[in-house]
Amino acid sequence: MAGTDRTRANASVAGAGGPVIVLVRPQLSENVGMVARAMMNCGLGELRLVAPREDHLSGKGPAATSGAHVILENATVHDTTAEAIADLNRVFATTARRRDMVKIVQTPRRAAGTLRELVSRGERVGILFGPERAGLDNDDVALADCLIEAPLNPAFSSLNLAQAVLLVGYEWFQAESDAPPEQVIVNGTRPAEKHELLNFFGHLERELDACGFLRNTDKRPGMVRNLRNIFERAGLTEQELRTLHGVVKELRHGRRDPAWSEHVREQTPTPD
């Protein structure tokens, strides 16, 4: 899934106040770059690195951001996890393994709501992500107030670093997103109004009466309702209705050029 439209709202990083993403001992600069990209996707702007193995601004790191280089360039490097989280009020830690500790464990969706509430109260929050190979160790987990565990396939719940950040970041972003769960992209036209739909029904039914399709008087009301329901479910646009009017008109009067009609029939595959 690709695409960036910088003319739309929220196109820039609005990371002020959002969770700080803390990568503990990341191994590859490329992975850090992909994390920066995931953060930009979700409107997260502050990245901190604890004892990274590679310079995050070298190698494949910058290219892996796919345009989110500002996050990578502004990332700070720290010697220890304790140093990286020192100015935060609350810290969450991501893990796929249950630890021998008493900790509150939340799903990413529940954690997103909790984080939003904490931020609304003016608290500074952060989320810890562990090294690529083994995740956070127990000493890092012990620093967290709460754990985040994604309910994935219990037999295979391992995520790569960028996937983990994207999953948690997505839930954070969606917790305050006003995007409708479903919408129709009409591309310059508009949804058809009921009077336009009824006008089309009248046109279609007149022609079906004229050609004899609705000749059975007893079945006609049910057939008309079925046809109308088909087009009602389609959620037609004004442009689509005009196209359908043209289709019905053309079927009524026939193709003006018989040679062209024969050519089309020859080129049309026959259903198996």
CA gap 177, 167 in Å, rounded: 15
- What pLDDT band is residue 17 in, cutting at 50, 70 and 90? confident
pLDDT at 254 over 70: no
Q: Which helix (H) or strand (E) holds 105?
A: strand 104-106
Alpha carbons within 13 angstroms on the beta-carbon side of residue 23 total: 33
CB 147 within 8 A of CB 95: yes
Q: Which tens digit of pLDDT belongs to each residue from 128-163?
A: 999 988 889 999 999 999 999 999 888 888 889 999
pTM: 0.73
In percent, the amount of the chain with pLDDT more than 70 equals 86
The pLDDT of residue 11 is 44
Residue 74: φ, ψ to 5°: -90, 0
The three-state secondary structure class of 62 is helix
CA gap 239, 241 in Å, rounded: 5
Give the bridge partners for 77, in sequence order: 49
The pLDDT of residue 89 is 96
Structure tokens at 110: 């529940």
196/101: higher pLDDT: 196
Question: Please, what are the domains in the chain?
Answer: 20-174 (3.40.1280.10), 194-267 (1.10.8)
Residue 193: φ, ψ to 5°: -85, 160
The pLDDT of residue 33 is 96
The pLDDT of residue 10 is 45
pLDDT at 219 over 60: yes
DSSP 192: P
Average pLDDT of span 203-232: 95
DSSP 13: -
